[in-house]
């Protein structure tokens, strides 16, 4: 996986995966049913994919710089056209806010990519979860924590892969 996202010749491929992930996540929020959790709360399984969407955005930004807003916009437009407009709108607002936060942290942190991914996701996933839930009218602290943790799993997985790769290169 990291080999795909490390080659300059694939910079548009990374952006394509990013756009596709945005659209798939929004379509999934529309059509994949919520899973009941303890205490009557519900869990959206697509929250797991959203963590990887944030990571893909970091790789796309590394490849495209500030032009990353182009694939971000395309993903939101396609989502609005293909998913439930109400869900797509809530997702678009939440995503736009959280992606701007993610972009700013990634841009200005100056850390190595593996750390930027982890830090930017840790800041942007709570924003995404809170805004999305509030836009849909069903905010709960339990649901918020579950969504943030599930989204961070993607960032943690990629961080771990990149860390192992960088540790192995020093052996």
Residue 85, H or E segment: helix 85-109
| CA separation, residue 44 to residues 31, 34, 86, 143 (Å) | 11, 5, 16, 9
Scan for tokens 């602290």, then name that residue: 141
| pLDDT given at position 171 | 43
| pLDDT given at position 169 | 61
| pLDDT given at position 4 | 47
| pLDDT given at position 17 | 93
| pLDDT given at position 8 | 55
Distance CA 6, CA 58 (A): 12
The neighbour count for residue 16, using CB atoms within 10 Å, is 15
How do the pLDDT tens digits run along the chain, 171 residues long? 445 445 455 778 989 999 999 889 888 888 898 888 877 777 788 888 887 888 888 888 888 888 888 998 898 889 888 888 887 788 888 878 887 887 888 788 888 888 888 888 898 889 988 998 898 887 888 888 888 998 888 889 888 888 888 766 644
pTM of the model: 0.78
């Amino acid at each position: 996986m990291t080999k795909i996202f490390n080659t300059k010749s694939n910079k548009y491929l990374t952006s394509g995966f990013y756009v596709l992930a945005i659209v798939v996540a929004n379509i999934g929020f529309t059509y994949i049913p919520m899973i009941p959790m303890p205490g009557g709360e519900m869990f959206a399984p697509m929250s797991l994919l959203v963590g990887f969407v944030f990571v893909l955005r970091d790789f796309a930004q590394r490849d495209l710089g500030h032009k990353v807003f182009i694939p971000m916009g395309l993903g939101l437009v396609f989502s609005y056209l293909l998913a439930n407009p109400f869900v797509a709108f809530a997702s678009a607002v939440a995503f736009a806010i959280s992606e701007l936060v993610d972009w700013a942290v990634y841009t200005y942190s100056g850390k190595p990519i593996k750390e930027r991914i982890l830090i930017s996701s840790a800041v942007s996933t709570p924003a995404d979860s809170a805004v999305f839930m509030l836009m849909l009218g069903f905010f709960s602290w339990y649901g918020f924590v579950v969504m943030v943790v599930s989204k961070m799993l993607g960032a943690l997985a990629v961080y771990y892969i990149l860390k192992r790769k960088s540790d192995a290169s020093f052996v």
